[in-house]
Chains A and B, each alone.
Chain A
Amino acid sequence: MSLQTKTRNYLVFLWRCLRIAFVGDWRYYTWMGALSCVILLGINAYAKQFVHGLIVTGMSDQVSWGVYIANFTFIVGVAAAAAMLVIPVYIYNNKELHDLVIFGELLAVAAILMCLAFVTVDLGRPDRFWHLIPGIGQFNFPGSMLSWDVIVLNGYLLLNLHICGYLLYCRYIGKPPATWFYIPFVFIAIVWAVSIHTVTAFLYVGLGGRPFWNSSIVGPRFLASAFTAGPALIILALQIIRRVTDYRIGDKALLTLRSIVQVSMLINVFLLANEIFKEFYTRTSHVASSKYLLFGLHGHHALVPWIWTAIAFNFISMGLLVLPLSKSLRYLNLACVLAIVGIWIEKGMGLVVPGFIPTPLGEMVEYSPSLNETLVCLGIWAFGILAYTVFLRMSIPILQGRLAQANEAEPRPSRGILVRALQEPQPNR
């Protein structure tokens, strides 16, 4: 096959994928319509921020990182957790989960896109992004952990795009994938997944002036909470896929993921206990931020209800996961939702904001996100969910064989924009 044909085939594949994203039933249109509206609200809010500056957020010199970086931190964890699906499949040869790896990695791609969006909206001068490009700008590698983060996040994005893209394209053209072209990348992705979250943790850990963050437990806590919240999200996502499409997903897959969430949540709670002991038993003056978070300090206590809710959710979730009760999907879903919300609070607002309160000079200035900030965050979340929906919309028909090169050669009508391919008999799964 000539290069020209190969290119043409690939472009047709991309075009068909793109087209299929616009086709669906009324539930799909409702979902995408609603997400688009939220995204538009986010774009509008960001336009205001672009014009007036970050003063439209609730941040200040005292609390200079807020929900943008909090969400970024949480989502990096979700992205890293895609590796949690990869490990049982490729290391333990669990065939059950094989196709689900793609769903996990597509989630990682959507998550990384959200991370990049959150970091970009947090920049004061996004028009100077090119200053970050190695070779063209002034890239402070290896000194700055942010430069490491730029490398690992973009690398992870490319890795996952390659693996998913290659596997899906091979399925589309009906050829078995060449092992050497994706297996090594899969193993790299496993290690890389751990590294993206460790590097993000090191962003915080390396700051001596912030004793709340300058602790070696932050890295392990990040990983433990990521590997709890990430697979929990995947459990929920798989059930949604099961419900709105006819893609079959066995309960066994969900239960395998449940055991991952179970162990990770136990570790997460254990590490929390470690941290609380260290802070409150020794009681040095570095305890101020923890005191502020858990009990309030000097009359300021905005985060106290949040963190106790998060701790309660984590404990209840842990309890449910440990009991065989959670083998039933209803309780498992409840445990997952509680875990995700609890960890979002604990890692997002419960990690980023208390690091700034009190300030290094002992000042107490609290933070709460403004309307604009919240709309931007919701917009980016909606964008991520939309991206993931589109990825699934493209990949499920490919995996089911409904969107394949074999049924590509349909004569296209001269009128009408949306044309469906002729139905192929469904392969029995």
Chain B
Amino acid sequence: MNTDEHGLGTEEAGGPANERGTSRRGFLRTSAVLASGMAALAASLAPLRELTDCTTVERFLQKHYKEMTPEEMNKVLERIAREVEKQYAVRPQVKDYKPMDGVEFVYCLNLTRCIGCRKCVHACVAENNQSRNPEIQYIRVLKMPHGSLDMEKGDHYYAPESVPEKGFFYLPVQCQQCKNPPCVKVCPVKATWQEPDGITVIDYDWCIGCRYCEAACPYFARRFNWTRPSIPKERLNPNMSYLGNRPRRQGVMEKCHFCVQRTRQGRYPACLEVCPAGARKFGNVLDPDSEVAYILKNKRVFIQLKEELGTSPRFFYYFDV
């Protein structure tokens, strides 16, 4: 096999052809390939024409929540309010609520009372401006057969005529705000962390969307924005907070945050407010007069889901009868 100067095979080891002719042909040939290649490259980026939510310089350089000064935070809150107004034609109130001292939140859920109506799921969606399409729901209610906590036996998609159904109990699961959260451990950019009042929060503007936290969570509590969230204008909740229910963007994580915009003002979370059976109890476990302190003192059997994983959840399930 004839090899040329570069050690590659050739079929013709002919001598140099007409110098002028071949080099012009070579030039044209090369230009054609390069030009068509550039054209194809440019055309391959054609979908970017549809890009609407472009990142601005301000957003790109925005600091981590913990690093922002109060002035910077105010500017950011103002910007978020403007963006929401532009998109939804509703002027929201966006604040940053700080945790209260001497507070550690705990949630107690009475499994005797839960009837599986899923009102908590939708109250949460309404309060926290979750995407309706595609659907994001922080709370998942499992229909479990009598006598077993084996999640594999649970049914997430029950849709009977009426609930509760005989022989089953209902287990609503949301972020357990663990004391030892695996999601916080694995986040490579510290976009999620645990606040002093026990709530595990996410800085939506810092998250890079790697979904490691979603893989790490043992409770299927975290949700990802697989595309631009869509919230109907008429159902937007305008009372927003930075770490809570302000509308999120495509490509970031979100999850239950114990309605931080309500609870840090001393109110109950939306899921509790809507429960028709009063199965949900929430409060400051450090306060001996709170309902949750009463429950933890007087009820006898508590279930912390997947306790053996060492996550130490702040969610206590119990039975009355």
- The minimal Cβ–Cβ distance linking B51 to chain A, given in whole angstroms, is 5
Q: Are B215 and A146 in contact (CB under 8 A)?
A: no
Q: Tell me, yes or no, whether A60 is within 8 Å of chain B by CB.
A: yes
Q: Which residues of B contact A147 (CB under 8 A)?
A: 188
Q: Which residues of A contact B3 (CB under 8 A)?
A: 246
- The minimal Cβ–Cβ distance linking B8 to chain A, given in whole angstroms, is 5
Q: Per-residue CB proximity of B197-231 to A under 8 Å, as 1/0?
A: 00000000011111110111111101111111000
Q: Tell me, yes or no, whether B276 is within 8 Å of chain A by CB.
A: no
- The minimal Cβ–Cβ distance linking B181 to chain A, given in whole angstroms, is 11
Question: Across the two chains, which residue of chain A brings its CB closest to B61?
Answer: A130
- The minimal Cβ–Cβ distance linking B120 to chain A, given in whole angstroms, is 16
Q: List A116-160 residues whose CB lies under 8 Å from chain B.
A: 119, 122-129, 131-132, 137-140, 143-147, 150
- The minimal Cβ–Cβ distance linking B175 to chain A, given in whole angstroms, is 12
Q: Tell me, yes or no, whether B156 is within 8 Å of chain A by CB.
A: yes
Q: Tell me, yes or no, whether A64 is within 8 Å of chain B by CB.
A: yes
- The minimal Cβ–Cβ distance linking B5 to chain A, given in whole angstroms, is 4
Q: Are B226 and A55 in contact (CB under 8 A)?
A: yes
Q: Which residues of A contact B68 (CB under 8 A)?
A: none
Q: Which residues of A contact B102 (CB under 8 A)?
A: none
Q: Are A40 and B190 in contact (CB under 8 A)?
A: no
Given contacts A40-B41, A288-B152, contact A145 B48 (CB under 8 A): no
Question: Across the two chains, which residue of chain B brings its CB closest to A53?
Answer: B227
- The minimal Cβ–Cβ distance linking B30 to chain A, given in whole angstroms, is 6
CA of A423 to CA of B16 in the docked complex: distance in angstroms?
Answer: 14
Instruction: Name the contact of B210 in the complex, choosing from A24, A124, A397 (C-beta under 8 A).
Output: A124
Q: Tell me, yes or no, whether A17 is within 8 Å of chain B by CB.
A: no
Q: Are B251 and A54 in contact (CB under 8 A)?
A: yes
Q: Are B208 and A129 in contact (CB under 8 A)?
A: yes
Q: Tell me, yes or no, whether B74 is within 8 Å of chain A by CB.
A: no
Q: Are A20 and B6 in contact (CB under 8 A)?
A: yes
Q: List B255-286 residues whose CB lies under 8 Å from chain A.
A: none
Q: Are A146 and B188 in contact (CB under 8 A)?
A: yes
Q: Which residues of B contact A396 (CB under 8 A)?
A: 7
Question: Across the two chains, which residue of chain A brings its CB closest to B137?
Answer: A61
Given contacts A55-B134, A64-B224, A417-B27, contact A244 B8 (CB under 8 A): yes
Q: Which residues of A contact B6 (CB under 8 A)?
A: 20, 23-24, 397, 402, 420
Q: Are A209 and B219 in contact (CB under 8 A)?
A: yes
CA of A85 to CA of B10 in the docked complex: distance in angstroms?
Answer: 32
Main secondary structure on A side of the interface with B = loop
Q: Are A361 and B154 in contact (CB under 8 A)?
A: yes
- The minimal Cβ–Cβ distance linking A79 to chain B, given in whole angstroms, is 20
Q: Which residues of A contact B10 (CB under 8 A)?
A: 25
Instruction: Name the contact of A207 in the complex, choosing from B4, B173, B189, B215 (C-beta under 8 A).
Output: B215
Instruction: Name the contact of A360 in the complex, choosing from B220, B223, B310 (C-beta under 8 A).
Output: B220
Q: Tally A residues with Cβ within 8 Å of B.
A: 80
Question: Across the two chains, which residue of chain A brings its CB closest to B153?
Answer: A362
Q: How many A-B contacts are there with CB distance less than 8 Å?
A: 225
Q: Per-residue CB proximity of B17-36 to A under 8 Å, as 1/0?
A: 00000010011001000000
Q: Are B7 and A415 in contact (CB under 8 A)?
A: no
Given contacts A53-B226, A124-B207, A246-B3, contact A361 B142 (CB under 8 A): yes
Q: Are B309 and A209 in contact (CB under 8 A)?
A: yes
Q: Are B152 and A362 in contact (CB under 8 A)?
A: yes
Q: Per-residue CB proximity of B48-85 to A under 8 Å, as 1/0?
A: 10110001000010001001000000000000000000
Q: Per-residue CB proximity of A15-57 to B under 8 Å, as 1/0?
A: 0000010111101100000001000110110011011111100
Q: Which residues of B contact A285 (CB under 8 A)?
A: 150, 152
- The minimal Cβ–Cβ distance linking A134 to chain B, given in whole angstroms, is 11
Q: Are B188 and A140 in contact (CB under 8 A)?
A: yes
- The minimal Cβ–Cβ distance linking A364 to chain B, given in whole angstroms, is 9
Q: Tell me, yes or no, whether A258 is within 8 Å of chain B by CB.
A: no
Given contacts A124-B252, A144-B212, A417-B27, contact A50 B188 (CB under 8 A): no
Q: Are B189 and A361 in contact (CB under 8 A)?
A: no
Instruction: Name the contact of B218 in the complex, choosing from A64, A138, A360, A413 (C-beta under 8 A).
Output: A360
Q: Which residues of A contact B210 (CB under 8 A)?
A: 119, 122-124, 146
Q: Tell me, yes or no, whether B290 is within 8 Å of chain A by CB.
A: no
- The minimal Cβ–Cβ distance linking A371 to chain B, given in whole angstroms, is 14
Given contacts A144-B185, A417-B27, contact A47 B44 (CB under 8 A): yes
- The minimal Cβ–Cβ distance linking B202 to chain A, given in whole angstroms, is 12
CA of A64 to CA of B191 in the docked complex: distance in angstroms?
Answer: 18
Q: Which residues of A contact B41 (CB under 8 A)?
A: 40, 43
Instruction: Name the contact of A124 in the complex, choosing from B5, B190, B209 (C-beta under 8 A).
Output: B209
Q: Tell me, yes or no, whether B186 is within 8 Å of chain A by CB.
A: yes
Q: Are A44 and B46 in contact (CB under 8 A)?
A: yes
A138, A208, A210, A418, most chain B CB atoms within 10 A: A138
Instruction: Name the contact of A363 in the complex, choosing from B156, B191, B219, B223 (C-beta under 8 A).
Output: B156
Q: Are B7 and A402 in contact (CB under 8 A)?
A: yes
Q: Tell me, yes or no, whether B89 is within 8 Å of chain A by CB.
A: no
Q: Tell me, yes or no, whether B91 is within 8 Å of chain A by CB.
A: no
Q: Which residues of A contact B249 (CB under 8 A)?
A: 125
Instruction: Name the contact of B44 in the complex, choosing from A40, A210, A356, A421 (C-beta under 8 A).
Output: A40
- The minimal Cβ–Cβ distance linking B255 to chain A, given in whole angstroms, is 11
Q: Tell me, yes or no, whether A299 is within 8 Å of chain B by CB.
A: no
Q: Per-residue CB proximity of A246-269 to B under 8 Å, as 1/0?
A: 110000000000000000000000
Q: Tell me, yes or no, whether A65 is within 8 Å of chain B by CB.
A: yes
21 A-B contacts (beta carbon < 8 Å): A50-B47, A55-B134, A61-B223, A64-B224, A122-B210, A125-B207, A125-B251, A128-B206, A132-B208, A138-B190, A138-B191, A144-B212, A146-B188, A147-B188, A206-B186, A207-B182, A210-B216, A360-B217, A361-B220, A416-B23, A417-B27
Q: What residues of chain B have their CB less than 8 Å away from a CB belonging to chain A? A: 3-10, 23, 26-27, 30, 37, 40-41, 43-48, 50-51, 55, 60, 64, 67, 134, 140, 142, 150-154, 156, 173, 182, 185-191, 206-212, 214-220, 222-228, 249-253, 306, 309-311
